[in-house]
Amino acid sequence: MTNPASKTILKALAGEKQAVPPVWMMRQAGRYLPEYRATRAKAGDFLSLCYNPDLAAEVTLQPIRRYNFDAAILFADILLIPQALGADLWFVTGEGPRLSTITTPDDLKALKPVDTIHETLNPIYETVKILASELPRETTLIGFAGAPWTVATYMIAGRGTPDQGPAHALREADPATFEALLDLITAATIDYLSMQIEAGAEVVKIFDSWAGSLKGDDFTKYALKPAKKIITALKAKHPNTPVIAFPREAGNGYIGFAKATGADCVALDNSISPEWGAANVQVDGCVQGNLASRHMVTGGQELRDETKAIVKAFENGPHIFNLGHGITPDADPDNVHVMLEAIRG
């Protein structure tokens, strides 16, 4: 086993500045890669792929073989927790996830207790174990979960929505049910991430993809405080496991987020400039980000220039290079090589 101190991602998360930042990409295992599409066809459908440890490990390893990223992120989905709690979950081709909705106290009561989720999620822990043994020794293994607010938006609406309107409406109309749902997801997330760590994840990341639609006190109550609760619980059990928090499109909410939650790193989206991120967020420690995903589609000199500009902006502190959001299915796999060449020279 490699000494963890020699892994570049872990060095960055410990606050170390490096001449060449480590790099990985959100959704790096996915539809832009032909080998992923072939493996998914073999699995039959998306959920079958998530719950097949051998195939899920295979698609996690594919981008590592192709690009030699510094980290691999477990292949799974943020909506496996709702399914493990008893919600119906299915995927509509070309449209995304659908869930049975949770909008009333009775809906909430019908969900399963947190201590039963592992019956459904055991295959995910098996995937982590396979990856822990098969990844190159220098590659960091990242586990993840969705943040309570983001997961709740899907459970309340039954699908993704452009403005998270149904979740905001329930928050205002029935705060008791809304907050009870958030508490349930928070407790399940702590258990889920803890089990990933026990299976071999070296870092975990909390994706709050819709944090940006929470404003003012609501951001503090429903994005920051649940993140703090999860991180505090994980640190009590696994004090040496770093946590990356991603409150996407948080704007000024990024400022002080690491200190307020205990996160070891804050991932930044591309709605803010890297210069702003360095001045306002990196002052508190490691940051991750934040190349716009569109550059993976368009490529060219603009991709090289923007990549180098981000490396330059964050060069005075700990930085993990990444996109500002997940790579999209229409990305050109060759553009990833262009990005890596710009970072690593």
**pLDDT given at position 251:** 98
DSSP letter for 144, please. E
**pLDDT given at position 6:** 80
Q: Which domain holds residue 104?
A: 4-344
**pLDDT one-digit tens code per residue, 267-293:** 999 999 999 999 999 999 999 999 999
- Cα dihedral 24, 121, 31, 207, rounded to 10, equals -50
Output the DSSP codes for 265-288: EEE--TTS-HHHHHHHTGGGSEEE
**pLDDT given at position 93:** 84
Has residue 1 got a pLDDT over 60?
Answer: no
DSSP letter for 223, please. I
Task: Give the SS3 label for residue 61.
Answer: helix
Check which CATH number belongs to the domain holding 62 and give it. Answer: 3.20.20.210
**Is 217 considered catalytic here?**
no
Q: Between the CA of residue 83 and those of 89, 187, 256, 285, what are the distances in Å?
A: 6, 15, 33, 35
Assess contact for 273 and 295: CB atoms under 8 A. no
Hunting for tokens 């907050």 — which residue is that?
Answer: 179
Has residue 26 got a pLDDT over 90?
Answer: yes
**Is 65 considered catalytic here?**
no
**pLDDT given at position 224:** 98
Measured CA to CA, the distance from residue 114 to residue 116 in angstroms comes to 5
**pLDDT one-digit tens code per residue, 249-272:** 999 999 999 999 999 999 999 999
What's the mean pLDDT in 27-48? 97
Check 70, 77, 191, 284 and give the catalytic one: 77
Check 36, 67, 125, 154 and give the catalytic one: 154
**pLDDT one-digit tens code per residue, 158-216:** 999 999 999 999 999 999 999 999 999 999 999 999 999 999 999 999 999 999 999 99
**pLDDT given at position 223:** 98
Question: Tokens for 98?
Answer: 């659908």
**pLDDT one-digit tens code per residue, 298-324:** 999 999 999 999 999 999 999 999 999
Q: What percent of the chain has pLDDT over 90?
A: 97
Residue 164: which region, alpha, beta or left (left: phi > 0; alpha: psi -120 to 50)?
A: left
Has residue 5 got a pLDDT over 70?
Answer: no
**Is 334 considered catalytic here?**
no
Measured CA to CA, the distance from residue 189 to residue 277 in angstroms comes to 28
State how many domains the chain has: 1
Q: What percent of the chain has pLDDT over 70?
A: 99
What's the mean pLDDT in 38-47? 96
**pLDDT given at position 4:** 56
Q: Does an H or E element contain 145, and which?
A: strand 140-146
**Is 77 considered catalytic here?**
yes
**Is 125 considered catalytic here?**
no
Measured CA to CA, the distance from residue 221 to residue 271 in angstroms comes to 22
**pLDDT one-digit tens code per residue, 83-128:** 999 999 999 988 899 999 999 999 999 999 999 999 999 999 999 9
Has residue 2 got a pLDDT over 60?
Answer: no
